[in-house]
Amino acid sequence: MFVTRRATLDDCQLIRSLAEIAFPHTYRELLSPEQIEFMMNWMYSLESIREQMQQKGHIYLIAYKDGEVAGYASTWKQAEHLFHLEKLYLLPQFQKDHGGGFLFREIIRLVKSIHPEPCTIQLNVNRYNVNAVSFYEHMGMHKADQGDFHIGNGYYMTDYIMEMDV
């Protein structure tokens, strides 16, 4: 059975450790090793995770299955009635256990607890990650836009922007 808990600053290293496995595994066939390394340093350095939590208002959830750490997700309030699902990753061994759906629903529950009024949740997902796109469509999201976002060092994120009302 999956459960979550809200991460604290003491969990920055745990999040980094989970990302070191889950992020490269997710993008190994979509991005070059160099871009994966660049993005890991950009998004998952301990300083970056701390900044996300302290200055940018990101809330992380840590997922566990039967007491074993299984993954993480994060969201933040982007505008008055708009939240952004920033990250949702499971370790590879938990990806067939419906943990992604559980973690997604936990993020929705978190957003509703913070913002009980109707709002929208958006996310960026790599256009070529067909499994992720299908997963989010299955969870009720739809493609609202797309873009190629320069992230530095000559790299781009080629994403759909998906959303749903909650």
**Overall domain count for the chain:** 1
pLDDT value of position 134? 98
Which CATH number does the domain housing residue 48 bear?
3.40.630.30
The per-residue pLDDT for 86 is 97
pLDDT at 115: 96
Mean pLDDT in residue range 64-73: 97
Quick one: what percent of the chain has pLDDT higher than 90? 99
> Per residue in 25-49, pLDDT tens?
999 999 999 999 999 999 999 999 9
DSSP one-letter string for 53-89: HHTS--EEEEEEETTEEEEEEEEEEEETTEEEEEEEE
Contacts of residue 28, defined as CB under 8 A and 6 or more positions apart, other chains included, come to: 36
* DSSP state for residue 31 in the 8-state scheme: S
Res 155: pLDDT: 95
159 contacts 149 by C-beta, under 8 angstroms? yes
- Which pLDDT does position 35 carry in this prediction? 96
Query: Containing domain of residue 27, as a range?
Result: 2-165
Per-residue pLDDT tens over the stretch 80-137: 999 999 999 999 999 989 999 999 999 999 999 999 999 999 999 999 999 999 999 9
